Amino acid sequence: MRDWNDSEPIYLQLKDLVLKQIMLGTLLEGEPIPSVRQVAGQERINPITVSKAYQILVEEGLLEKHRGVGMFVCVGAQSKALDREQQRFLHEEWPAVLDRIALLGLKADVLLANLNPGPSR
C-alpha cells in the first residue's frame, strides 16, 4: 500500500504511477494490467478512483479496454508516453528550471559537477 500525497488527487497520482510503469517497461505493451478491483483492494482506495485513473490513460491512447477480458497496455504506448512526457518536460518544466538556475546565478560547470547519475527516484 502506498502513501498517497494529500496535495494531488489520488486518481492523478495513480495515473502518473501507471504512466511511469509504462515508460519504464514494467507494464509491457499488449499485456494486461491489474484489474480495477485488484488495485483498489491492494491500495485500499475506491474502485471509482482507479477507474478514473485508467480512463484518463485510455483517453490518452495508452491503455485499451477488451470487453469482458480487462484492460491492456496499447502497442506503441511506451514510445508514445516517452515522446509526450519529453515534450511536456521541455516545454513546461524545463523553462522553469532554467529560470531558477538563472535566478540563483548557477554556472554550467557547477551544475555539471553536481550531476548524480544514480537511479531515478
Domain that holds residue 112: 1-121
Residue 18, amino acid: V
What pLDDT does 11 receive? Answer: 97
pLDDT of residue 119: 60
Total domains in the fold of the chain: 1
Per-position pLDDT tens, the chain of length 121: 788 999 999 999 999 999 999 999 999 999 999 999 999 999 999 999 999 999 999 999 999 999 999 999 999 999 999 999 999 999 999 999 999 999 999 999 999 999 886 565 4
CATH number for position 25: 1.10.10.10
Cα–Cα dist 4/11, whole Å: 10
Q: What's the confidence (pLDDT) of residue 35?
A: 96
